Structure 1
Amino acid sequence: MKPANTLLRLCLWIVLPLGLNAEDWPQWLGPRRDAVWRETGIVEQFPASGPKVRWRVPVNPGFSGPAVAGGRVFVTDRQLATGAKNNDEDPFDRSVVPGTERVLCLDEQSGEVRWQHRYSAAYGVSYNSGPRATPVVADGKVFTLGTEGHLHCLSTSEGKVIWSRELKKDFGVKTPLWGFAAHPLLDGDKLICLVGGKGSVAVAFHKDTGKVLWRALSAKEPGYAPPVIIEHAGRRQLIIWHAEALNALDPETGKLLWTIPAPIRQAVSITMPRQLGDLLYVSSFYNGSLMVRLDAASPGASVLWQTRKISEKDTTHLNALMTTPFLEAGHIYGVCNHGQFRGLRADTGARVWENTALLTRGEELECATAHLVKNGDRFFLSHENGDLLIMRLSPAGPQELSRCKLLAPTLSYQGRDVAWAHPAYANGHIFARNDREIVCADLRK
């Protein structure tokens, strides 16, 4: 590209509409890991033709969302080895399939490939399309976690390997059924990951060297829920929800602060724990909801309410599978595995509304997925069918304000096509991917 064209493209990108305060999206769920997009000057209604697409870039299959930081977009994918083939007829087939994983770095403004890093990664997991975990970006480094436990720290400038770990080999653990999927958490100089095994469900690595700083907790299965840090009772608490319990650790040392037994059927602890004041909430497909109240005086917690009736068909509260709920103003909003969009009271779990038309058109789905991100007084909802919705959520119910088709659903699942990756919202734009491409679209007014 000629220098003049590059400068012109940069100028067009950075001349932002009045009132827009731009920010990056350097990890899953955004800068604060809370699913809130704090930029202003964002579109209130989509144009009839949809938002303007800035660029499209081909990618290989993967479930990982993009991260956007420092003028670059980072995403991971996987390519099958020559002659290799996935068993699309049986997603639970764990036969080993050779291939390579890739970390791809794109220019945020143009979509041009800046660099890529490939490494061998033979998959022996269920649903083996590609990586699950969204990259984390900070201080000139990008951290990525592959489906089979390949953990990398690369330079953002050129993709040089700064350090790497192989979780299975280094900790003597097996790959979970659906792979290593919990999005890593960066906290100061610590990169915190779910690993598994005895004494190493949660492991903190030094972000500069990969050295183990501490390890904690034991469980037969680590689950898939992203770790998150909350603040309560004057303490920062690292919340780890694995397949047997909801736990709080001291993020500096890994010391256990409290634990509440919560066995999860098939180890599907997937959604991230969400805090609302002195409440902490988790939701799973088979076991439903668990709400705990955090102690006021010192780190501790007790069960406030939980789903007692274990049924994935006749559900009482919220049985989310892959969609992390959103909590605000005393209420919980989320999507059940079969596609029911629900609102609950946070203090009791009582259902205040259910909508089966907005997402599923009245059909009962399996692994229904829609990702919620708040912006101002409304929400953006990325639908698994490739639609992007602007909506309001309240105790009165959901209100759809605008809808557009953002990208095509390209992964075939149980008779329907889906796109399950969580998008990134950064600098007035949305960055979304399916199994074939990543798209950047302008959401500025």
Structure 2
Amino acid sequence: CIEEQGARLLLCLDRRTGKVLWQRPVLTTPLEKKNKLNSYASSTPATDGRHVWVTFLDAPHPRVVCYTVDGEEVWRATPGEFHSMHGYCSSLIPYKDMIILNADQDAVLPLRAYIVAYEKATGKERWRIDRPNRVRSYTPPAIFQAAGKMQLVVSGAKCVASYDPDTGRPHWIIDGPTEQFCASLVFTDGLFMMTGGFPELHLMGIRPDGTGNITDTHVTWHIKSRKIASYVPSPIA
């Protein structure tokens, strides 16, 4: 981001030399309000080797833009609005022929918090999830094959939830255990592991084979601790 100009840029670098091969001004707009630890370009682009997708906030609207790897714009989409006192940081997640964006946020009705999937090639909306609670969180969804099905799992907005990444339909949900989250889940040894968040820090192991509300049935272990749980860093398994 060139802050003096309000310009949000996408850059392509030669990975061997660091030379800038091309750069594109994705949008130019006034700087949004943010936390001092955040930036105006916190979202990580995604690529499949042929196209690259990037997102910035044109407050109050997120913009999702697709380019070829040569820097030619293919499409752009506006999924809705986004409101957070800490700014924007949602990274795009590629899955099959879709690109997925999590927009957990402080949405006041009739506005909605949402997760949305677009077709990679065209920018056509494939599905949309109406997220519960409408509370800001900052977690990139993670996708795993678990319990015999594909699961898009995300912690945020006072819950931990799993969805079908092909359709957006819910698999299961856990209430809490706290309000806001940053770290993505991992899957190892037959369990999802969650760490987060704010105002309390928790670690949780979750069995992946549930349906509906599994708060009281599928949490294998749960530790509340500021000494071993992390708020921002995601675990590695």
Range class of TM-score, shorter chain: 0.7 to 0.9
2:69 to 150, 153, 156: 156
Structure 2 residue 118 is the aligned partner of structure 1 residue 210: no
1:226 to 137, 140, 164: 140
Cα distance, 1:135 vs. partner? Answer: 1.1
AA partner of residue 280 (structure 1):
F
Structure 2 residue 20 is the aligned partner of structure 1 residue 113: yes
Contact 2:66-2:73 at 8 Å conserved across structures = yes
AA partner of residue 305 (structure 1):
W
Distance 1:129 1:235, change over 3 A: closer
Number of the residue aligned with 2:93 = 185
Question: RMSD of aligned C-alpha atoms?
Answer: 2.3
AA partner of residue 73 (structure 2):
V
Number of the residue aligned with 2:7 = 100
Number of the residue aligned with 1:79 = 2
The residue matched to 2:16 in structure 1 has which SS?
A: coil
Cα distance, 1:130 vs. partner? Answer: 2.4
Deviations 1:326-350 (A, max 9, x none): 23xxxxxxxxxxxxxxxxxxxxxxx
Number of the residue aligned with 1:306 = 222
Cα distance, 1:150 vs. partner? Answer: 2.3
Contact 1:290-1:303 at 8 Å conserved across structures = no
Number of the residue aligned with 2:232 = 322
Q: What is the alpha-carbon distance in structure 1 between the residues aligned to residue 78 and residue 39 of structure 2?
A: 20
Distance 1:271 1:277, change over 3 A: same
Bigger radius of gyration among the two: 1
Larger helix fraction of residues: 1
Q: What is the alpha-carbon distance in structure 1 between the residues aligned to residue 203 and residue 234 of structure 2?
A: 13
Note the residue ranges of structure 1 that are not aligned, 5 or more in a row. 1-77, 83-98, 310-314, 328-445
Cα distance, 1:122 vs. partner? Answer: 2.0
Deviations 1:381-434 (A, max 9, x none): xxxxxxxxxxxxxxxxxxxxxxxxxxxxxxxxxxxxxxxxxxxxxxxxxxxxxx
Cα distance, 1:199 vs. partner? Answer: 5.9
**Percent same amino acid among aligned pairs?**
23
Note the residue ranges of structure 2 that are not aligned, 5 or more in a row. none
1:407-426 correspondence to structure 2 within 5 Å: none
Deviations 1:243-285 (A, max 9, x none): 22111001111000100011534x3x11111111221122224
Contact 1:204-1:215 at 8 Å conserved across structures = yes
Structure 2 residue 208 is the aligned partner of structure 1 residue 279: no
1:119-134 correspondence to structure 2 within 5 Å: 119-126=27-34, 127=36, 129-134=39-44
Number of the residue aligned with 2:152 = 238
Contact 2:82-2:103 at 8 Å conserved across structures = no
The residue matched to 1:304 in structure 2 has which SS?
A: strand
Deviations 1:47-106 (A, max 9, x none): xxxxxxxxxxxxxxxxxxxxxxxxxxxxxxx01235xxxxxxxxxxxxxxxx11000111
Residue-pair matches, total? 220
The residue matched to 1:146 in structure 2 has which SS?
A: strand
Q: What is the alpha-carbon distance in structure 2 between the residues aligned to residue 235 and residue 106 of structure 1?
A: 37
Could you tell me the TM-score, scaled by structure 1's length?
0.46
Contact 1:233-1:299 at 8 Å conserved across structures = no
